[in-house]
Chains A and B, each alone.
Chain A
């Protein structure tokens, strides 16, 4: 079975630009969540979606938005990029609360 897949794997953007990151969950997993991991720190929660509805939002500015599609895949959008947005963005999926999370390999975003 395919795991959680994220695209692209690496991305370089200029300050002020917009970026879209994509995530495909494991088949049968209806919940997707997004995390930002800055070098040397643990991942920070950004969003969680379940059945296309937002179930949780972390302490991130409105420049960050996300959505989940009918096939349960998800996109994370970041507008007006700042240098501080440079990080590894991780996506995780789960079939439900008692099953734990499976993470993708992440998208490395560099803002210059």
Chain B
């Protein structure tokens, strides 16, 4: 069974800092990997999708990478802002099921 771990579970940083969120999965047989943001009590907002043939994706201040051989993905957030405060979830797609991590709760302090 695929298990997805996210480290750290919680992170608090001052505004402007660059940060890295980590995601690891036990089974490298995933197809795509997607990073989401979730605000309290809300649904999931897609941030970045790394498709099966890709290793990296960038959108604005966000960059995500995927290394299937090691079973790891990282989400890099540059110049963090208070509006980035949320829970960040990674999810591996096996083709017919998404396996989610438990998330990293990020707080950016003004």
Contacts and interface: CB of A to CB of B under 8 A. Distances in A.
Interface of A: 33, 35, 40-45, 48, 55-56, 58, 88, 90, 92, 97-106, 108
A42 B100 contact: yes
A45 B32 contact: no
Given A33-B97, A90-B43, A100-B93, 6 more contacts: A42-B103, A97-B93, A99-B49, A100-B34, A103-B43, A105-B42
B103 A98 contact: no
B46 interface: yes
Interface of B: 4, 31-32, 34, 36, 41-46, 49, 51-52, 89, 91, 93, 95-103
A56 B97 contact: yes
A35 B96 contact: no
